[in-house]
Structure 1
């Protein structure tokens, strides 16, 4: 353990919260890593900004709303990480420690029983997604091409005629692609087709929804859209 700490700077994120809430963060983190999702990828699948999940894991943001639980249920396809808050549950000081050793990122949660005494609630680790997701360039290019073909098919078959969530689109990709494709590749290609002014075929909107949704700009011409898609996908 001491060797791992000496290899890099440990970031510490303190907070006062209940054990129920820190358990929720642990279960979300564990489910994320078990599925091979980076924090950015899970944010995308939840329909949120890139920093949403990183901020939850670092206690920079709190969210106990039912909408988050519903979205996590859709993404993970189970709800075993949801535990009810006990009435009057005491809040304790917690610290999330995050550090990197080599190509591995470590997460360790400490809970303080007193000012001087703490216990380790959990420690998990993941491969740095900035390295692991792009380690094999040929595979990345293959996934990118499959994603592009799937998105083109989705456009032609009217998937975007009504607002649709990222996790729904990604689930359709699972059915259409030859291989399992990481969400980051899908996100990168999808965002090439999105803008606010109508130059790209899609727009991203929340309105009253908890999550971002993707929909065609009004009066989009299909032929022009196909030409635009081919042009954007051909760009290096």
Structure 2
């Protein structure tokens, strides 16, 4: 069972998300917060697997809250959920450690899928945000790409294969099937990749792989 927390200053939005997530047999909404500070308190008191966090909130915004949540002893996975499709929100959310970025007008099935994917260690980006993010990195200067390639040099050939599939959005199960490996072995490779590349989650590793031209 995925233990979820909803963080939004709009009570109606919280209610709608509670109804949506509560209708999924695999998700249990164990906490609701109206701002970032409240979210930190609840995540400290409860074991949270996935937090859906709004960006614009009083007292502490969602970007700051995401960064703080990621420093907890048992950090939840974070999906930034916002009305505003702005580049700075996407970049700042990912830099803060978010594992997903969705707009509130996303299809309900997409939100549920995102919660399940992120809970298993995968990442989820709204298609528009993903396209703009990729375009941004494609337009980055050559030194950035060169630096990314240098960081990837420390990976083994097998880890390069795993990273390439991870960057395409494959789950651990997908990678295991594609490479003929056990899922537990894939998890070990992913853990080693994140450590070697000095990133905190799969999404950041995928972006680094794209910087290096691996995908």
Q: The TM-score by the shorter chain falls in which range? A: under 0.3
User: Could you say which structure has the larger radius of gyration?
Assistant: 1
Q: TM-score w.r.t. structure 1 length?
A: 0.26
Q: Which has the higher strand share?
A: 1
Q: Which has the higher contact order (CA 8 A, sep 6+)?
A: 1
* Higher relative helix content: 2
